[in-house]
């Protein structure tokens, strides 16, 4: 299964990508997670990306496209993959189509997570992350067992630098301008499936599984 999740920040792409990648045994590839790891490592790509990621802008296409191409050459992607947060611009989508075409593979579905502004703001301002193992929590919807401590590794949870209201609003503007046009791009290709991302985790998971069951096996 080869899938792409698109949708505004905080719509639940990462949360549901983790659940589905475990169910389908395919890697969850989040460009946001890869960029944050590179920033923490202090690598050259991380140095280039830091100011864009922390201010809610987009990292230049050339950097992200190269990063995704390299990741998709790893062996674990042979049986499929779930891309979360890529492509995010028309330039990225076109380069991705070309790269897939060159190796003769197709996407099975592009899932658009459609969430209201109220949901987005509530989810992002309440999100907490584990800086060590990347586990994702929400102070009200998915709280850790012990307040502010990661269930998986015991580290203190943090709020992402781009999860403050001003930066969230900037990310939403960037989403509308640069990423929303991809909805029509993939609709025209007949690959788009839409979900109501305002649903709670269990209900949305059921809906996603129904959609994936209807995707023809290649």
Active site residues: 13, 88, 127, 160, 171
Closest residue by Cα to residue 114 from 4, 193, 20? 193
Q: Cβ 109 to ligand AP5, closest distance in Å?
A: 17
Residue nearest to ligand AP5 (CB): 32
- Residue written as token pair 């191409």: 69
12 versus 27: smaller Cβ distance to ligand AP5: 12
105 versus 201: smaller Cβ distance to ligand AP5: 201
SS3 190: coil
Alpha helices in the chain (DSSP H): 13-24, 31-41, 44-55, 61-72, 90-102, 117-126, 165-174, 181-188, 201-213
Chain residues in the site for ligand AP5 (CB under 6 A)? 7, 9-15, 30-32, 35, 52-53, 56-59, 64, 85-86, 88, 92, 123, 126-127, 136-138, 141-142, 162, 171, 199-201, 204
1 versus 8: smaller Cβ distance to ligand AP5: 8
Q: Phi/psi of residue 210, each to 5°?
A: -60, -45
Closest residue by Cα to residue 8 from 172, 178, 183, 191? 172
Distance CA 57, CA 34 (A): 16
1 versus 95: smaller Cβ distance to ligand AP5: 95
Q: Cβ 27 to ligand AP5, closest distance in Å?
A: 15
Q: Cβ 218 to ligand AP5, closest distance in Å?
A: 24
Q: Cβ 83 to ligand AP5, closest distance in Å?
A: 9
Q: Cβ 182 to ligand AP5, closest distance in Å?
A: 11
Distance CA 29, CA 14 (A): 9
Angle between helices 165-174 and 44-55 (to 10 degrees): 100
- Per-residue tokens: 45: 């790509």
117 versus 218: smaller Cβ distance to ligand AP5: 117
């Amino acid at each position: 299964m080869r899938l792409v999740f698109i949708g505004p920040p905080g719509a639940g792409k990462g949360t549901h990508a983790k659940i589905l990648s475990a169910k389908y045994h395919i890697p969850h590839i989040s460009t946001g997670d890869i960029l944050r790891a590179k920033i923490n490592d202090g690598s050259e790509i991380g140095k280039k990306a830091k100011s864009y990621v922390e201010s809610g802008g987009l990292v230049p296409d050339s950097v992200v496209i190269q990063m995704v191409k390299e990741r998709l050459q790893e062996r674990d992607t042979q049986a499929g993959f779930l891309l979360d947060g890529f492509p995010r611009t028309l330039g990225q989508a076109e380069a991705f189509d070309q790269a897939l075409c060159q190796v003769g593979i197709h996407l099975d579905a592009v899932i658009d997570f459609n969430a209201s502004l109220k949901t987005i703001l509530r989810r992002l301002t309440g999100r907490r992350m584990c800086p060590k193992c990347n586990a994702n929590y929400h102070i009200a919807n998915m709280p850790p067992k012990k307040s502010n401590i990661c269930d998986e590794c015991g580290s203190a949870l943090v709020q992402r630098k781009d999860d403050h209201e001003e930066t969230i609003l900037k990310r939403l503007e960037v989403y509308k301008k640069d990423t929303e046009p991809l909805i029509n791009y993939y609709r025209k290709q007949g690959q788009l499936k839409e979900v109501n991302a305002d649903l709670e985790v269990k209900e949305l998971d059921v809906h996603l599984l129904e959609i994936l069951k209807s995707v023809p096996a290649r």
